[in-house]
């Protein structure tokens, strides 16, 4: 086992050696607490049978711990300045590959199939907070061959993923996560565990991808359209949101009938709907459009 990259002393040495400066716009808050890194890898249940995709390796603090436990790691880093640093800090590990790319622009599907011979991979990351939601949505909606996602996010975002109807945190992200996964918050992490310190507390959350979504819907694309539409205008009634934003070409009267036929009040707001309510509404819209 090599010396940990993550100690505050070593992190400072690496940063000074390369004259590296943190870029706020890339969400660069590096972990400097070895226990937290161990906790992340433990929560992800990484074993030597696992191939792990990491998003944003930074200077390699988490990558190192994953590499010591997994069969292999592919880490995708957007910041070109970090690539020579990673080559240096991770030179002892022959099971690590680094790609200098934007994770939202790579063909994750092909990479995953190629790197683990068609077997599911695990995603483990301390995510850049400015794009947490787009990354999670991308990982879920693209139906990638992933068995679990263990990520550090803002505590509030972790809570949002688990929130239910009528909670102010409940939104399209909550529905997507709960449709595809079982989610559990593993640990809460204080700002002092990062360099530089973020303003808010963070949490590690594990999303276990289900073999099949929690509810059956007739048309998944339509289901997510209804969900995004319902939360796009939170203060409006569901009927008005669907009428104004849905583009379904269904009259207000017929939308009201559809809503009432799902045992919901005609004035209900989207934020009051459970996962299965959303499923019922989208199935009824599907039937209406295919009648
Ligand atoms: N894993 C390291 C750690 O725990 O110390 C760094 C985590 S830091 C919160 C987020 C990392 O994601 C940074 O290294 C940042 O440059 C990288 N990043 C930001 N946007 C990215 C993107 N679109 N694609 C890939 N990496 C990105």
Q: Measure 55 CA to ligand 1 centroid, in angstroms.
A: 6
State phi, psi for 184 to the nearest 5 degrees: -140, 135
The pLDDT value given to residue 2: 79
DSSP state of 34: H
pLDDT along the chain (291 residues), means of 10: 91 97 97 98 98 98 98 98 98 98 97 94 97 97 96 98 94 97 98 97 98 97 96 91 93 97 96 97 97 92
Residue tagged 């939360």 (tokens): 231
Binding site membership of 128 for ligand 1 (Cβ less than 6 Å)? yes
Check residue 9 and give its pLDDT: 96
**Which residues have CB under 8 Å from 171's CB, separation 6+?**
160, 163, 231, 271
Which ligand 1 atom is the nearest neighbour of the CA of 104? 23
102 known member of a binding site: yes
The confidence score (pLDDT) of residue 165 equals: 95
**Strand partners for 125:** 151
CB 151 within 8 A of CB 54: no
User: Ligand 1 centroid to 164 CA: how many Å?
Assistant: 29
Which of 18, 26, 105 has the most ligand 1 atoms within 8 A of CB, as the residue to mutate?
A: 26
Closest CA to 56 of 17, 3, 106: 106
**Which DSSP symbol is given to 193?**
G
Q: Which residue has the tokens 């499923």?
A: 279
Buried b (16+ CB within 10 A) or exposed e, 33-59: beebbebbbebbebeeebbbbbbbbbb
């Amino acid at each position: 086992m090599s010396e940990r990259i993550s100690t505050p002393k070593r992190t400072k040495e690496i940063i000074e050696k390369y004259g590296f400066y943190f870029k706020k716009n890339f969400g660069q808050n590096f972990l400097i607490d070895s226990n937290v890194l161990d906790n992340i890898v433990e929560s992800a249940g990484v074993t030597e049978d696992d191939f792990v995709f990491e998003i944003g390796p930074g200077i390699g603090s988490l990558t190192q711990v994953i590499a010591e436990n997994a069969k292999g790691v592919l880490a995708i880093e957007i910041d070109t300045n970090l690539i020579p640093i990673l080559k240096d800090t991770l030179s002892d590990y022959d099971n690590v590959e680094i790609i200098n790319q934007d994770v939202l622009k790579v063909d994750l599907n092909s990479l995953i199939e190629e790197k683990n011979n068609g077997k599911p991979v695990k995603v483990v990351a301390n995510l850049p907070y400015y794009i947490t939601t787009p990354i999670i949505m991308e990982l879920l909606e693209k139906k990638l061959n992933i068995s679990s996602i263990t990520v550090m996010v803002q505590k509030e975002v972790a809570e949002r993923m688990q929130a239910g109807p009528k909670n102010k945190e409940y939104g399209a992200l909550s529905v997507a996560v709960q449709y595809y996964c079982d989610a559990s918050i593993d640990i809460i992490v204080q700002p002092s565990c990062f360099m530089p310190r973020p303003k808010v507390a963070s949490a590690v959350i594990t999303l276990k991808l289900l073999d099949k979504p929690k509810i059956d819907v007739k048309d998944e694309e339509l289901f997510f359209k209804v969900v995004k539409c319902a939360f796009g205008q939170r203060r409006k009634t569901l009927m008005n949101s669907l009428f104004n934003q849905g583009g379904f070409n269904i009259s207000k009267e017929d939308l009201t009938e559809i809503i009432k036929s799902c045992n919901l009040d005609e004035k209900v707001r989207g934020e009051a709907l459970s996962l299965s309510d959303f499923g019922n509404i989208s199935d009824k819209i599907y039937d209406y459009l295919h009648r």
